[in-house]
Chain A
Amino acid sequence: MPVVIDMDKCGKISNCPGEGLCIKLCEQGALVEEDGELVLYPDKCDDCDLCITNCPNQAISKD
């Protein structure tokens, strides 16, 4: 089950205290930057949950 991103909490990557930390941590390419926005590719998510535990905005979770 892929992760869910709360875009209100996330905000733009330029505002992220971790400067897009989730993108850097995700080695599956499930979280990528496109035009300054965080984009999730659910098919690629491997459920490692590193993004959930490390997101400085607590914007990533699972249903």
Chain B
Amino acid sequence: MSAVERNGNDKRSLDYIRDKCVGCGICTSICPTESLKLGPVLPIARGLVDMDYVNVNKNSCVLCGLCASACPFEAFEFKINDENIKDLDAYPSWKHNASIDDEECLYCKACETACPQDAITIKRTLPVRSKLVTGEINIDEDECIYCGICEEMCPPQAITMTVKEQMERDIKVDEDKCVYCLVCKRACPVDAIKAVCSSCSYGDYRLKSEDAEIKGRSILQEDLCVNCGWCQEICPVDAAKVTKPFEGEVIMDTTECKGDSCHACIDVCPCNAVSLVDNKSSIEEKFCILCGACSNVCPQNCITIKRDKMNLENIRSKSWQNKLSGLMEGK
């Protein structure tokens, strides 16, 4: 039995996916051959230079795949015989994820607005408005003097008056738009409008509950999602569930933080977790994924990321376990 064996028949390839990379530097710290170099992350994040966050030295890369396994953003694709290792049983797999339960979702769009990566789209179909109100309205055209007051005052713009020539006049109520508020009836100077609102006089019981139903679906784009937890935090009905890639804490010493002069941490954070409080950097741990991008760019070393656990499972190789556990050390 050989001590070291290699089979050159396997085709191995590594691809860097720039759009998924956040410049956190996990890959550069894990690469055993120092083949990955982090570029100028802050100037790239600010759009001052057009470069990739990570540079791959293909001459020194040994195609081990550690970077692809360690990257929580799937910014590296490592393939063996054209098969992505994240789909192979022998390789580790991340257990972080995010999901939105459409059974619970109210389609309020709070998550869509809050998501810092624009990964969520909520499609919804609203009830037909005319089914949520009941009433009757009629304009007596013999009485009507075509003054246009009702048209001007109608809140949902349900009344349309047309005057083609002096005596060729027409007034119509769009009953799909009318909410039977009776403003027109009260304003009409000649009492030409007869209208009643039966929702008000009879209460809600005439309305069918299925007519008020809001239907929809949520679309969460996993390739954009960074599992920051904004959707989970903001959802009013706990329909969004997020498991983050790392567990741990952020230790801040903002004595030297220059606040608004610098704000490098804010600019690189993929999670919109950083803000300035009293002109000092402040990280909301609820939204932080402990990627460490902020810690790397802070010129004053104010930020220490302490990871206690990573949700990467099935690390079979002892040497990979050792290497990956290095990410647990404070940085």
Q: Name A's B-contacting residues (CB within 8 A).
A: 18-19, 21, 24-25, 27-28, 46-50, 52-54, 56
Contacts and interface: CB of A to CB of B under 8 A. Distances in A.
14 contacts: A18-B48, A18-B49, A21-B43, A21-B49, A24-B43, A25-B48, A27-B261, A47-B258, A48-B261, A48-B262, A50-B42, A53-B42, A54-B43, A56-B40
Chain A interface secondary structure, helix, strand, loop or mixed? loop
Given A21-B49, A25-B48, A49-B300, A54 B40 contact: yes
A53 B297 CA distance: 8
Contacts of B261: 27-28, 46, 48
User: 9 tightest CB-CB pairs across the interface, nearest first?
Assistant: A49-B299, A48-B262, A48-B258, A46-B261, A48-B261, A53-B299, A24-B48, A54-B40, A50-B299
B48 A50 contact: no
A22 to B, nearest CB: 10
Interface residues of B, number: 13
A35 B261 CA distance: 25
Contact of A21 (B48, B299, B300): B48
B264 interface: yes
Contacts of A18: 40, 43, 48-49
Chain B interface secondary structure, helix, strand, loop or mixed? loop
B40 A46 contact: no
Contacts of B264: 50
B85 to A, nearest CB: 34
Most chain B beta carbons < 10 A, residue from A28, A52, A53: A53
Contacts of B42: 25, 50, 53-54
Most chain B beta carbons < 10 A, residue from A18, A19, A27, A49: A49
B43 to A, nearest CB: 6
Given A18-B43, A18-B49, 16 more contacts: A19-B49, A24-B46, A25-B42, A25-B48, A27-B261, A48-B261, A48-B262, A49-B258, A50-B42, A50-B262, A50-B264, A50-B299, A52-B299, A53-B297, A54-B40, A54-B43
A46 B42 CA distance: 18
Interface in B41-77: 42-43, 46, 48-49
B51 to A, nearest CB: 10
B23 to A, nearest CB: 13
Contacts of A27: 261
A53 B39 CA distance: 12
A3 B277 CA distance: 26
A25 B43 contact: yes
B192 to A, nearest CB: 65
Nearest to A26: B261
B43 A46 contact: no
Contacts of B299: 48-50, 52-53
B116 to A, nearest CB: 22
A54 B264 CA distance: 11
A54 B299 CA distance: 9
Contacts of A50: 42, 262, 264, 299
A25 B262 CA distance: 9
B280 to A, nearest CB: 13
